[in-house]
Amino acid sequence: MKRSLLAAFSDRLAMPDLSLMPKEGLTPARLRIELLAGLTVALALVPEAVAFAFVAGVHPLVGLYAAFMVGLITALFGGRPGMISGATGALAVVMVALVAQHGVEYLFATVVLMGILQVFAGVMQWGKFIRLVPHPVMLGFVNGLAIVIFLAQMGQFKVPGSVVNTGEGLSSGEWLTGMPLYLMLGLTALTMAIIWVMPKISRVVPAPLAGIAVVAALVIGFGLDVPRVGDMAEISGSLPPFHIPAVPLNWDTFMIILPYAVILAAIGLIESLLTLNLVGDMTGERGGASQECIAQGGANILTGFFGGMGGCAMIGQSMINVKSGARTRIAGIAAALFLLIFILFAAPLIELIPLAALVGVMFMVVIGTFAWNSLTILRKVPLTDAFVILLVTVVTVMEDLAVAVVVGVIVSALAYAWQNATRIQATKRESKTEEGAQVYEIHGPLFFGSADGFTELFDVAHDPEVVIIDFAGSRVADQSALQAIEAVASKYEMAGKKIQLRHLSRDCHQLLTKAGHLMVDSDDDPDYRIAADYGVRTGILGGH
């Protein structure tokens, strides 16, 4: 087992196709687009990483290091070119309790374990289960995330220095009022207007970068007194040093960090894989789920050893990147390297950028991310789907992404099971081949949800001596279905009547025949298989 896991791990971490060459080749125009998109993303990453570090209760550089390292490694090895990863709020809100109770060193150890769990999930190819997420859940996910991104920007409209890290999260802070508020709103609106107009004028420079550059030039040139990046925190620092988490290597430590690591790994993978699908829909690419799991896990392992808070895919920055024209891994690599340059050399310049410009960029991301068509289709889709869209949106905002997706999938699955459970029906007619025999033609799937309804279809007391149950219009799906068939057959046997089952799969009628009281006509039975072995092993069917 160990050898196979290590072999799979080695194969998947081998240098992949870096996708540096799009169909038109790596032309100077393509390289310019990728680098400028990466610069735009890097500028948008700075306040996000700092804010999420504050939420988690750690130093801003811990968030910036995570954004750099996770962003770089996933850009190189991730499952989808164009995706951007870094420190995220969904992870930060889970980390804050751990940091408050046990300290930042336990956070680093937790991030390492989180990465190991994510790599294991990738090696086991569990990423493919993201296919089970229904479309209504995806709509609710993007809508909820758009609202979360919008609400996250509200903190930038508070007086600098009034938002204080209390060790258990951020205090509420004081809202801007008067002229500072009007300036902030005006510059935010100007940034959004530039981003909207720029593509109609020229595509030489990505619209978000143009908006940031113009508004920053106005603020710096006229010396406007508005909140800037430097008001949040100093972002100057050195290269992240290698650091083994200073925690006791014992069972007690493992039991402390394991619950947090499991939750963080699940949230990180769910958000990353949903973002992978979203970016794939925009770029027309498929696959890469398992590769993304391993890339995220490897990135978090290294980040934990270099003093970072860990991270996952960032839908907002990914949208900025893709809509800026990026289609290769160059943009993600450039974004990470630009962020490192900001930390090492350009911190004084970056700290002058007005927050209003970055808020304007994120507001445009919100507008582009929200599935506005979902508002019009709510009245057209089935009521259950409409309910799931609204439910996932609300739970994403009120709780977190992972809970919202799990709740949405469960509700969708239960609704699907109930709808299919009510479809089981039977048509009664006299047999054309056996005189005096009663035929029940079954329609609809027979599974755990419809098993009770199936047993209620038959009139054992008043049926003739020979009863034929025809499953040509049905599908026997699971062990509960087999149990229901045997229950019906037992009732007819107790009444002294003979029953025939037709159009069952061969493995199904073999199990039923072993019960000793069933006669099965299998001349034209289908070949599909069901979960039958379980019934034999447990003795529920065919073994008693």
Residue that is last in its domain, among 354, 383, 412? 383
- Residues 413 and 507: their CA atoms lie apart, in Å, by 27
Alpha helices in 422-465 (DSSP H): 451-455
Residue 280 within a domain: yes
pLDDT of residue 509: 63
* Structure tokens, 381: 């889709």
Picking from 249, 255, 295, the residue whose alpha carbon sits closest to that of residue 275 is 295
Has residue 47 been placed in a domain?
yes
Same domain membership, residue 428 and residue 377: no
Q: What pLDDT, on a 0 to 100 scale, did the predictor assign at position 165?
A: 53
Question: Two tokens at 326?
Answer: 């990026």
Q: What is the pLDDT along the chain (544 residues), one digit of tens a residue?
A: 444 444 443 343 343 344 444 555 678 989 999 999 999 999 999 988 888 888 788 889 999 999 999 999 999 999 889 899 999 888 887 898 899 899 999 999 999 999 999 999 999 998 888 888 888 998 998 899 889 889 888 888 988 766 655 544 455 678 999 999 999 999 999 999 999 999 889 888 889 999 999 999 999 999 999 999 998 888 898 999 999 999 999 999 999 999 999 999 998 998 899 899 888 888 777 778 999 999 999 999 999 999 999 999 998 899 999 988 898 999 999 999 999 999 999 999 999 999 999 999 999 988 988 989 888 888 888 899 999 999 999 998 888 777 888 899 999 999 988 888 888 899 998 887 778 889 999 998 888 899 999 999 999 999 999 999 988 888 887 888 888 988 898 899 899 998 888 887 766 666 566 655 454 554 555 544 444 443 433 343 443 3
pLDDT at 293 (0 to 100): 95
Same domain, 437 and 374: no
- 186 and 312 co-located in one domain: yes
Question: Does 100 reside within a domain?
Answer: yes
* Same domain, residue pair 184 and 137: yes
| Residues 327 and 441 occupy one common structural domain | no
Residue 86, SS3? strand
Q: Give yes or no: residues 224 and 347 share one domain.
A: yes
* Residues 375 and 519 reside in one and the same domain: no
Same domain, 242 and 368: yes
Number of domains in the chain: 2
- What helix, strand, coil percent values describe the chain, rounded to 5? 65, 10, 30
| First-to-final CA distance of the chain | 36
Looking at the fold, whether 443 and 364 belong to one and the same domain comes out as no
Say which residues have a Cβ less than 8 Å from residue 500's Cβ, sequence separation at least 6. 437, 466, 467, 468, 469, 519, 520, 521
CA quadruple 384, 386, 389, 393: dihedral sign: negative
CATH classification at residue 446:
3.30.750.24
In a domain, 229, yes or no: yes
Please give the Cα distance from 519 to 529 (Å, whole number): 20
Handedness of CA 242, 247, 251, 255 (dihedral sign): negative
| DSSP letter (8 states) at residue 354 | B
How many CB atoms are located within 10 Å of the residue 227 CB?
21
Domain assignment of residue 9, yes or no: no
Phi, psi of 158 (to 5 degrees): -110, 155
Same domain, 334 and 448: no
Q: Is residue 525 part of a domain?
A: yes
In a domain, 348, yes or no: yes
Co-location of 274 and 323 in the same domain? yes
Instruction: Give the structural domain span for 431.
Output: 422-538
| Whether residue 207 is found in the same domain as residue 263 | yes
Among candidate residues 501, 506, 500, the one with its CA nearest the CA of residue 525? 506
Q: What angle do CA 241, 242, 245 make, to 5 degrees?
A: 115
> Residue 282: inside a domain, yes or no?
yes
